Amino acid sequence: MTLDQEPVLVINPGSSSLKWGCFRTTASTQPILSDSVELNEIESSFENIAKKFNISLVVVRYVHGGPQYHSPLLITDDILESLPMLDEYAPMHNPLSRWCVDKAKLWFKSSVRIVAVFDTEYFHDLPKVSQAYSLPRALIKKYGIRRYGFHGFAHDGMYQYLCSRKKEFNVNLNRTITIQLGSGCSMAAIKNGFPIDTTMGFTPNEGLLMATRSGDIDSGLLTWLQAKEGWDHKLTENVLTKESGWYGMSGLNTDMQLLIQDQEPTSRLAVELFIWRIRKALGAYFAILGGLDSVIISGGIAENNPQFCQTLLMELNHLGIEVDNYFKVTSDLPIELSSQLSTVKCWVVANQEFQSMLASTKRGLQEFNQQRT
């Protein structure tokens, strides 16, 4: 069976749920079947998939590959033993990815090939200045400290999708900002097809306000709270990643759609800060890109509420963004948010992570096969 004849299961574990898609080949753009399941539903879902499809290739998304892994990895017994070491880099995500790898060996036939793909791949070659932290060189060298960037498949996927339709939509993508809005949120600046900066850094906690993650926070405030509250590193991690964000600020829930509708002052402030930080990053990226041609937004928040994305982009006329106040509300994506007068074209597009993960897998398997020959 050749590479492009294999039924492929793509598994995308997130912080709050897991998405999966079954594709006929690694070159497919649309799944045969796909779903999003809660964490307690995963095992039963994949048992059913194993009965329906003769899966011979499983692709599992890893959020963080640490300093050692940043390209597709064919899972061997030796690699399998090294995967637990990655848990510390993304404790909210990597353990679930590893669990999926372990279970895939049980769910599917013994000859199944399993490939781990890493969300940090897309940002591996960021400019050195964009990778850097101002910490002692000895620490940076000892621990491989850098800004890794995350949501790589999401940012690559939405950018490549619009690239494939740029003539149809008459859009210039030379200077582009991509925005991923879900439980986790991030932005990327892309110049002439290559990312030059992103809001997430060493961990997926840096940058924008998120559902339960704090995003950017004063490091001095953090050490002050540790001293005042007696937090150890585990408790600190828990507060920053599971008790903060718009959930922590509002004391309500993690659902941004409900938060937008809530009129409590704490909820209003959380939404305002969410918008504020996105606009701040837009302005910063306008500066380093030397202008702006397009903005692309995706993720659950954006896809379920394009009107909110319109609100995000209002009052940015000085950046060349003019939103269309009369755009047609529809469930069909993509949707253009910008008006005909706007020099910056703004779009909401459907999530394309699966497609980006498959493209990465195909490249990786081709390289692996070339090495074997």
180: nearest Cα among 301, 345, 70: 301
DSSP 131-146: H---S-HHHHHHHT--
Checking DSSP bridges between strand 175-181 and strand 57-62, what pairing results, if any?
unpaired
* Residue whose tokens read 């020959």: 373
* Residue 22 bridge partners (DSSP): 9, 33
17: helix, strand or coil: coil
Cα 341 to Cα 207: distance, rounded to the nearest angstrom: 31
Report which DSSP code applies to 170.
Answer: T
* Residue 191 bridge partners (DSSP): 175, 194
Catalytic-residue membership of 102: no
How far, in whole angstroms, is CA 249 from its chain's centroid? Answer: 23
Which of 119, 125, 293, 324 does the annotation list as catalytic?
A: 119
Please check whether residue 119 is in contact with residue 150, taking contact to mean a CB–CB distance below 8 angstroms: yes
Task: Report residue 93 as tokens.
Answer: 């995500």
Task: Report residue 239 as tokens.
Answer: 């507060």
Q: Long-range contacts made by residues 269-274, C-beta under 8 angstroms, separation at least 24?
A: 270/209, 270/246, 271/246, 273/209, 273/246, 273/249, 274/185, 274/208, 274/209, 274/246
Helix (H) or strand (E) holding 115: strand 113-118
Neighbours of 276 (CB within 10 A): 13
In sequence order, what are the residues at sequence separation of 6 or more whose Cβ sits closer than 8 angstroms to the Cβ of residue 280?
none
* Residue whose tokens read 């600046």: 189
In sequence order, what are the residues at sequence separation of 6 or more whose Cβ sits closer than 8 angstroms to the Cβ of residue 249?
209, 266, 269, 270, 273
Cα 200 to Cα 20: distance, rounded to the nearest angstrom: 24
Catalytically active residues, by annotation: 119
